[in-house]
Amino acid sequence: MPLTVAEFVVRWKTYDQSEEAGAKPHFLDLCDLLGQPHPAAADSAGENYAFEKHVRKTSGAEGFADVWFRDHFAWEYKKKRKNLEKAYTQLNDYREELGNPPLLVVCDFERFEVHTNYTRTNKRVYKFNLDDLNRNLPTAGCPLPPLDVLRALFGDTDVLRPERTDAQVTQEVAKKFAKLAERLEIEGRSASREQVAHFLMRLLFCLFADSIGLLPDHLFRRTIENNRLSPSKFQRMLSDLFGAMSDKEKGIFGPYAIKHFNGDLFNSSAVMQLDHGDLGILYDVSKNYDWSRVAPAIFGTLFERSLDPKRRSLIGAHYTSEQDIETLIDPVLVRPLRQRWEEYKTRILEAREVERAEEVARDSKQARLRVDRESEKLLGQWIDELTAVRVLDPACGSGNFLYVALRRMLDLWLEATKLATEEGISLVVPKMVSPRQLYGIEIEFYAHELASVVVWIGFLQWKHEHGVHEDREPVLEKLHNIEYGDAILRRDAEGKPCEPQWPQVDFIIGNPPFLGGSKMRHELSNEYVDSLQQMYAGRVSAGADLVTYWFEKARAEISAAQKLRAGLLATQSIRGGVNRQVLDSIKASGDIFMAWDDMPWRLEGAIVHVSIIGFDAGHEMEKTLNGERVEAINSDLSSGHDLTSAQSLDENRNLCFRTNERGGPFDVDPETAAKMLKAPLNVNGRSNLDVLRRFVGAADITGRSRDMWIIDFYGLTEAQAAKYEIPFETLKHRIEAEIEATKNSSKPLKRRDRWWLHRRPGSDMREATSDLPRYIVTIRHGKHRPFVWLDHSVVPDSGMYAFAREDDYFFGILQSAAHEIWARRTGTQVREAESGFRYTPTSCFDTFPFPWPPGKEPSEAEDPHVKAIADAARELVRLRDAWLNPPDIDPAELKNRTLTNLYNQRPAWLANAHEALDRAVFAAYGWPYPLTRDEILARLLKLNHERSAAHPPAS
């Protein structure tokens, strides 16, 4: 029957009998507590879950595991107060025979220890007792609530994986620190945000140092615990501790000698005043969390958010994990270093074989006295080489990429020192990989300050995990090679814009800021963007995204240094349009050796889709795209046919246009439109129908029509527009209301000079379609690529492109597989994968070769191929319209009849209609049917080259 935690604790706290008598009852009670079936009920045969599981020890002797649950745990009991280490040793003897379960549990009825046994991860022990179970809160020995740990034994054991636990603990402590930061800022303590940030970084480092033994005997934790009810006393003691940590001589704190920390973090004894509430938070985070397990790869991001009031809401949101960062770090940095290490390792082992042979042939004592061993020289050369590697992150944030790079280089260093031990190779004072090899540039003050702390915590944590003794002083150093400044544009002594010099390094890695070209002026100011574009004119296209400037800077560094490698993240739009110029330049001066064209990535609380690009001077011969070996990677991050070589065709000019961009409250709902249209004639004798037009957005194309209208004074002066009284006054009132609503905001709206007109009315599109009864449109981006007809009286929204043709033949070519396959390869993926790809006229349409140059194709009467395409297009449109708007359909069902749903389902009749269209289009090209995607692209690319060579675009 169910058992409460309190009942379980009381029952087993007083138990003091033998292990044999208590093991089964204790475990059965635990099952009742957790609502789990007993072993016999869950598995009567005992094949997967049993008491007293018979095993053979590694020594060959036989034994029994007290409880065993396949793929979950093995459990060993001991009598109260007995040595649990012996129980764990006993389980280790059994684990292979038990299928190597992921968790090994030892228990003496009051104390629990859950040891992780996952492959390729660090070991972790979750320790708690009955009192901890009763409180069910995290402790320094158990970073998760004990009940969660026990539940994980029977359920999702991966919950207890060290990396999962570290991430969870890190998020929790970041939230706690956010509360403390908020209290220190808002309670009038006359401290700047810089002072608060510096003080909090001191506290967090003390918590970490206390957990790994850099501060002796947990003195920081005990100082908090003993003085949490006396803020003034704690403040005096904290000042004394900071003073001791900053003392170049041996600092003294009570009976303890304190190491010299410094590094500008502990450069004085100054502290901030804390009250009882602040100390309560500090006591919580010191008592209930093991700070040695904080994950620096994500802590920097989360703590940075805690320091910024605008970003505190993101603390519990997604973060860039260490595994994400490794996607870039491993191929760019680790792979070449490991290849180099393997080369050295082979030579070292060969040298050791020779040296051992010499020892056999000579007197062993004489051989040991030799000081010119080749193996020692080689190993020393490798360590010299590894410890000379310099890594730059030119947008380093709080240091997460640098931290992961440091750990991976330390892992290689450890392999070398282990080889020295195994092979008996002498390394007198081996150099060690250190944070001094890391370089960074960061424009955000808090992130820059935090980067050094994150890197040092990561360094010290790695040493602690791997048993590398920390005896150097000062413990910390100020990383002057992490700069506070702008990585792409600065001002010289005279205030003129200048291009910053990046430090000379071997590798460039990072995640530069994502900001679209259209948003840069709003976020960065016109002056900054003008200076930036002038500085990089000819190298980066005007209007390109901000991230492209980091790519160009890295490319220039590689071109100058040759041996340098770089790996950077970008939005997927870097593959096309004006952004792709930087990748074209990279290909021209070097090459791309690694790329992911579409990778989910965690950024600022959301999962976005990015491109990851590794490039060098062209030395790397192994190319990988999306994790697969390829012969080459094109600048649009594709392999195979290089569609980036396609040229714009003069014959396609003046056919595809951007559409209308409103830029104001011009929309009119159906009811309001009906009232305006029923109003009496205006003073000019004209109806409001002149300036009230049907309006269609992308949602009306892919979904159901919203029957929207729009006020459109295109071509009218303000005085002329005013004569359409109701629409004019309605628009004027709306704009004045919007201006009034924002007048007290940081960015108030201002009335434009030509406020009654749309911001970009699409004049060229209107002129090109003015004499056409209908024209073609497609949405700018979407999962599917539908083309539809619009009546000439309808105004399309800016989320679409318009094609100034009225014939079914032209529609059929656009809607064919040939054009869609070309457009998908030459367009770009939008941020969210479900939103599909972006149709870009310059790359998707201007380069597309039609069967005949547009305007020179024969008529339907003149050529049966043209007629076949037109007939197939008409039939496709007829069938789609019949499905979208059938007569006598239930209104609820009608809502689901959308083009998106239709193409998601793609019924047989639709597939057949598209096949008929594709057959007709292929025949017009003179192609067989069917063709593969690659065959279609190859034929279109060849045709593009032929057309562009015969008729180059007019200058």
Question: pLDDT tens, 59-91?
Answer: 667 788 899 999 999 999 998 888 898 888 888
The per-residue pLDDT for range 3-17, each reduced to its tens digit, is 888 889 988 988 888
What's the half-sphere exposure (Cβ side, CA atoms, 13 Å) at 753?
0
Question: Sorting pLDDT into bands at 50, 70 and 90, what band is 1?
Answer: low
**CB-based contact 223:237 (threshold 8 Å):** yes
Measure CA 941 to chain center.
Answer: 34
Residue 549: per-residue pLDDT: 96
User: Do the strands 103-107 and 111-116 form a parallel or antiparallel pair, or are they unpaired?
Assistant: antiparallel
What's the half-sphere exposure (Cβ side, CA atoms, 13 Å) at 224?
21
Give dist(CA 627, CA 612) in Å, integer: 11
**CB-based contact 307:386 (threshold 8 Å):** no
CA distances, 422 to each of 29, 418, 568 (Å): 49, 6, 38
Is a pLDDT exceeding 60 seen at residue 737?
A: yes
User: Quick count: other Cβ atoms within 10 Å of Cβ 19?
Assistant: 18
User: Once rounded to an integer, what is the mean pLDDT over residues 769-777?
Assistant: 96
Q: What is the token pair recorded at 549?
A: 């400037």
Q: Is the dihedral of CA 844, 846, 851, 854 positive or negative?
A: positive
Q: Longest C-alpha distance within the chain, in Å?
A: 119
**CB-based contact 566:332 (threshold 8 Å):** yes
The neighbouring-strand residues paired with 484 are: 442
Please, is 738 exposed, middle or buried when counting C-beta atoms within 10 Å of its C-beta (0-12, 13-18, 19+)?
middle
The per-residue pLDDT for range 310-351, each reduced to its tens digit, is 665 555 545 577 788 899 999 999 999 999 999 999 999 999
Question: Sorting pLDDT into bands at 50, 70 and 90, what band is 948?
Answer: very high
Is a pLDDT exceeding 70 seen at residue 369?
A: no
* DSSP character string of 106-137: EE-SSEEEEEE--TTS---EEEEEHHHHHHT-
Residue 832: per-residue pLDDT: 45
Give dist(CA 402, CA 440) in Å, integer: 8
> Looking at per-residue confidence, does 936 or 424 come out higher?
936
Give dist(CA 636, CA 824) in Å, integer: 11
Is a pLDDT exceeding 70 seen at residue 621?
A: yes
Question: For the chain, first and last CA: distance in Å?
Answer: 87
Please, is 250 exposed, middle or buried when counting C-beta atoms within 10 Å of its C-beta (0-12, 13-18, 19+)?
exposed
Give dist(CA 265, CA 242) in Å, integer: 10
User: Quick count: other Cβ atoms within 10 Å of Cβ 816?
Assistant: 25
Instruction: List the Cα angle 229/230/232 in 5-degree steps.
Output: 150
- DSSP run (H or E) holding 693: strand 692-696
The neighbouring-strand residues paired with 105 are: 75, 114
User: Quick count: other Cβ atoms within 10 Å of Cβ 805?
Assistant: 21
**CB-based contact 796:696 (threshold 8 Å):** yes
Q: What is the three-class DSSP state of 215?
A: coil
Single out the residue of 453, 173, 454 nearest to residue 297, CA to CA. Answer: 454
**CB-based contact 328:614 (threshold 8 Å):** yes
In the numeric block, the tokens 């690009």 are attached to 613
* DSSP character string of 39-99: HHHH-TT-SSEEEEEEEE-TTS-EEEEEEEETTTEEEEE--TTS-HHHHHHHHHHHTTTTT
The neighbouring-strand residues paired with 49 are: 69
pTM over 0.85, yes/no: no
Give dist(CA 338, CA 570) in Å, integer: 26
User: Once rounded to an integer, what is the mean pLDDT over residues 846-866?
Assistant: 97
Amino acid in position 678 = K
In the numeric block, the tokens 């006393």 are attached to 233
Give dist(CA 333, CA 254) in Å, integer: 46
Residue 65: per-residue pLDDT: 87
User: Once rounded to an integer, what is the mean pLDDT over residues 38-46?
Assistant: 89
**pLDDT over 70 percentage in the chain:** 92
Question: Sorting pLDDT into bands at 50, 70 and 90, what band is 713?
Answer: very high
- Mean of pLDDT over the chain: 88
Backbone angles phi, psi at 173, to 5 degrees: -70, -30
**CB-based contact 435:456 (threshold 8 Å):** yes
The per-residue pLDDT for range 462-510, each reduced to its tens digit, is 888 777 876 778 888 877 899 999 999 999 989 899 999 999 999 999 9
CA distances, 230 to each of 219, 238, 275, 276, 740 (Å): 17, 12, 8, 8, 52
Is a pLDDT exceeding 70 seen at residue 189?
A: no
User: Do the strands 73-77 and 103-107 form a parallel or antiparallel pair, or are they unpaired?
Assistant: parallel
Question: Sorting pLDDT into bands at 50, 70 and 90, what band is 193?
Answer: confident
Of 310-319, 700-709, 808-817, which one has max mean pLDDT? 808-817
- DSSP run (H or E) holding 781: strand 781-782
Measure CA 188 to chain center.
Answer: 37
**CB-based contact 521:460 (threshold 8 Å):** no
Give dist(CA 639, CA 629) in Å, integer: 10
Give dist(CA 39, CA 893) in Å, integer: 52
Give dist(CA 601, CA 319) in Å, integer: 9
Q: How many residues does the chain have?
A: 955
Instruction: List the Cα angle 785/791/797 in 5-degree steps.
Output: 55
CA distances, 876 to each of 347, 701, 879, 883, 906 (Å): 68, 16, 5, 11, 13
**CB-based contact 667:735 (threshold 8 Å):** no
Single out the residue of 491, 583, 568 nearest to residue 532, CA to CA. Answer: 491
Count of helices and strands (H, E) across the chain? 34, 30
The neighbouring-strand residues paired with 590 are: none
> Looking at per-residue confidence, does 576 or 508 come out higher?
508
- DSSP run (H or E) holding 457: helix 445-465
Q: What is the token pair recorded at 603?
A: 């950024």
The per-residue pLDDT for range 817-841, each reduced to its tens digit, is 999 999 998 887 654 444 567 898 9
Give dist(CA 490, CA 495) in Å, integer: 9
**CB-based contact 481:363 (threshold 8 Å):** no
Q: What is the token pair recorded at 559?
A: 């071109």
**Helices 400-423, 322-329: crossing angle, 10 deg rounding:** 70
Is a pLDDT exceeding 60 seen at residue 211?
A: yes
Give dist(CA 324, CA 306) in Å, integer: 22
User: Quick count: other Cβ atoms within 10 Å of Cβ 542?
Assistant: 13
Give yes or no for a cis peptide into 500 (omega within 30° of 0): no
Residue 4: per-residue pLDDT: 85
* Residue-wise burial string across 118-128, b where 16 or more C-beta atoms lie within 10 A, e elsewhere: beeeeebebbb
- The secondary structure of residue 604, as a DSSP letter, is T
Is a pLDDT exceeding 60 seen at residue 955?
A: no
The per-residue pLDDT for range 114-124, each reduced to its tens digit, is 999 887 677 88
Is a pLDDT exceeding 70 seen at residue 953?
A: no
List Cβ neighbours of 232 (8 Å cut-off, separation of 6 or more): none
* DSSP character string of 882-921: HHHS-TT--HHHHTT--HHHHHHH--HHHHHHHHHHHHHH
Alpha helix locations (H) across 270-393?
276-287, 296-307, 322-329, 335-361, 364-368, 374-386
User: Once rounded to an integer, what is the mean pLDDT over residues 690-695?
Assistant: 95
Amino acid in position 90 = Q
Question: Sorting pLDDT into bands at 50, 70 and 90, what band is 188?
Answer: low
Single out the residue of 457, 545, 409, 566 nearest to residue 502, CA to CA. Answer: 566
